[in-house]
């Protein structure tokens, strides 16, 4: 039996495992490194800092205290002032207003939720964020309700794939924002065209990804079920779908990120709304610390959703190596045992029950074959 690869010292050996402490440390480091780079650019003057925040304008007429000016322009003007015998401008090196420091963004991240908007008719950050989440939810839900079954059918049935995938391959290269004007003309200017853009941007990719995942099912599972006399319907519902459900779940987590990437473009269609409207308004007020805070909130929402779905996947699929058996999986197992006992109590000895038992035994045989293959 082939032994599993041992964890490497730093996790850079191909296909090597990682010890849990190493995995957690590298996970944290992936956020610490960009933050450290941001801090260096913001707080170390000689790294960049192309601007100068004026503390004393001296004899330079066009400068004022507290103003940000390009350092090269101020130095050029100071040379002319010194040549005339005047007092040069003095200031401290600073970054442009569109690159706030981390502490300014952290402060804006708090004040955006606690300080009223600049105008009374503008939404708060949490209101804008919730509106965007609803657009993402409905767009991706509709895409999944249609795309997942169609993708499974395309992956399992060659005829269905031949009938639908050529057009889907063509359509997936069309940029979703190109349908913005048409979506507004058909669906109005409110949220419907935004949801439609999310749908168009994810549906066609989703079908192809799900179809390719379905095609990767272990043929041994299908052969074991066919040996036991499983019908085509049972092969699809009791072998194919359970055999790829974990990979489909992972695909859906990745595809949900695609829906978030279409959000900003979608919310510009029709009436601007949601987090996109909030970001654009803060940019008009030159409150770039709030712009950065809003972008970070979007990333936190996406990351939090992915982590929550990952935890839920561990509960739903406790047989995976990385799964942790928790209260959800235990409750689900209890429900299955109770429902299985109820069906067993109603069982009989008729021939039809025997026939159905043979076909229903396909998933059990598939599971045994899968266990033997893994072992």
How does pLDDT run across 233-279, given as a tens digit for each residue? 888 888 898 889 999 999 999 999 989 989 888 988 877 789 999 99
Q: Which contiguous run of DSSP H or E holds residue 92?
A: strand 90-94
Map residue 55 onto helix, strand or coil. strand
Q: What is the pLDDT of residue 350?
A: 44
> Does residue 355 register a pLDDT over 60?
no
| Segments making up each domain of the chain, as ranges | 51-94, 125-335+359-374
Q: Provide the pLDDT for residue 349.
A: 46
Identify which has the larger pLDDT, 326 or 166.
166
Q: How confident is the model at residue 163, as a pLDDT?
A: 94
pLDDT attached to residue 18: 79
| Band of pLDDT at residue 354, cut at 50, 70 and 90 | very low
Q: What is the CATH number assigned to the segment(s) 125-335+359-374?
A: 1.10.3720.10
Q: What is the pTM of this model?
A: 0.75
- The CA distance from 310 to 247, in Å, is 12
pLDDT at 140: 95
Lowest mean pLDDT among 238-247, 286-295, 332-341: 332-341
CA separation for the pair 345, 181 (Å, rounded): 60
Look at residue 362 in the predicted model and tell me its pLDDT.
46
Query: Alpha helices of 84-124 — where are they, by DSSP H?
Result: 102-114
Determine the pLDDT at residue 357: 43
Q: Give 322's pLDDT tier (boundaries 50, 70, 90).
A: low
Q: Work out the average pLDDT over 62-89.
A: 90
Residue 39 pLDDT level (bands cut at 50, 70, 90): very high
DSSP for 275-329, please give it. Answer: HHHHHHHHHHTT-HHHHHHHHHHHHHHHHHHHHHHHHHHHHH-TTSTT----HHH
Chain centre to alpha carbon of residue 312: 16
Using an 8 Å Cβ cutoff, are 224 and 365 in contact?
yes
Q: Does residue 9 carry a pLDDT above 60?
A: no
What is the token pair recorded at 235? 């092969």
pLDDT for residue 321: 64
Higher pLDDT, 336 or 218: 218
Q: What is the mean pLDDT of residues 64-89?
A: 90
pLDDT computed for residue 109 by the predictor: 92
pLDDT at 328: 61
pLDDT at 86 over 50: yes
Which pLDDT belongs to residue 273? 84
Q: pLDDT tens digits, residue range 41-69? A: 999 888 888 898 999 998 888 899 989 89
Residue-wise pLDDT for 100-157, tens only, equals 999 999 999 999 898 888 888 888 999 999 999 999 999 999 999 999 999 999 999 9
Pick the range with the lowest mean pLDDT from 17-31, 86-100, 271-285, 335-349.
335-349
**DSSP code, position 87:** P
Contact 113, 292 (CB under 8 A): no
Rounded CA separation 92/49 (Å): 9
With a pLDDT cut of 70, the percent of the chain lying above it is 83
Q: Are 88 and 60 in contact (CB under 8 A)?
A: yes
Which residues, in sequence order, are bridge partners of residue 53? 68, 92
pLDDT the model gives residue 104: 93
What pLDDT sits at residue 20? 83
CA distance 12 to 344: 52
In the prediction, which pLDDT does 128 show? 92
pLDDT at residue number 97:
86
Cβ–Cβ under 8 Å, residues 267 and 192: no
Left (φ > 0), alpha (ψ -120 to 50) or beta: where does 53 sit? beta
Contact 54, 69 (CB under 8 A): yes
pLDDT > 70? residue 6: no
Average pLDDT, the chain: 84
Burial 87-125, CB ≥16 within 10 A → b, else e? ebbebeebbeeebbbbebbeebbeebeeeebeeeeebeb
Neighbours of 274 (CB within 10 A): 25
């Amino acid at each position: 039996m082939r032994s599993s690869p041992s964890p490497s010292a730093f996790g850079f050996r191909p296909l090597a495992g990682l010890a849990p402490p190493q995995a957690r440390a590298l996970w944290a480091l992936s956020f610490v490194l960009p933050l450290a780079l941001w801090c260096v650019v913001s707080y170390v003057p000689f790294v960049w800092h192309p601007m100068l925040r004026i503390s004393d304008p001296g004899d330079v007429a066009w400068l004022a205290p507290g103003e940000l000016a390009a350092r090269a322009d101020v130095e050029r003007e100071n040379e002319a002032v010194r040549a005339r015998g005047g007092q040069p401008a003095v200031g401290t090196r600073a970054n442009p207003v569109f690159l706030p420091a981390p502490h300014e963004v952290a402060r804006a991240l708090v004040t955006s939720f606690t300080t009223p908007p600049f105008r009374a008719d503008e939404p708060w950050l949490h209101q804008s964020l919730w509106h965007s989440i609803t657009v993402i939810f409905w767009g991706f839900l509709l895409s999944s309700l249609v795309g997942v079954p169609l993708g499974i059918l395309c992956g399992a049935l060659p005829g269905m794939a031949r009938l639908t995938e050529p057009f889907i391959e063509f359509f997936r290269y069309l940029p979703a924002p190109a349908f913005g004007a048409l979506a507004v003309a058909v669906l109005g200017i409110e949220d419907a065209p935004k949801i439609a853009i999310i749908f168009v941007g994810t549906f066609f990719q989703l079908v192809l990804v799900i179809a390719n995942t379905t095609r990767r099912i272990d043929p041994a599972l299908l052969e074991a079920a066919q040996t036991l006399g499983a019908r085509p319907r049972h092969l699809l519902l009791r072998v194919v779908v359970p055999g790829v459900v974990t990979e489909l779940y992972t695909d859906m987590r990745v595809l949900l990120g695609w829906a978030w990437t279409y959000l900003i473009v979608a919310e510009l269609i029709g009436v601007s709304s949601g987090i996109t409207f909030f970001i654009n308004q803060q940019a008009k007020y030159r409150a770039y610390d709030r712009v950065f805070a809003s972008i970070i909130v979007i990333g936190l929402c996406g990351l939090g959703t992915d982590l929550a779905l990952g935890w839920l996947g561990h509960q739903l699929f406790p047989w995976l190596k990385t799964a942790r058996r928790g209260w959800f999986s235990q409750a689900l197992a209890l429900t299955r045992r109770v429902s299985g006992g109820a069906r067993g109590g109603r069982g009989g000895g008729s021939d039809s029950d025997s026939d159905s038992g043979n076909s229903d035994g396909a998933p059990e045989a598939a599971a045994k074959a899968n266990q033997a293959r893994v072992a």
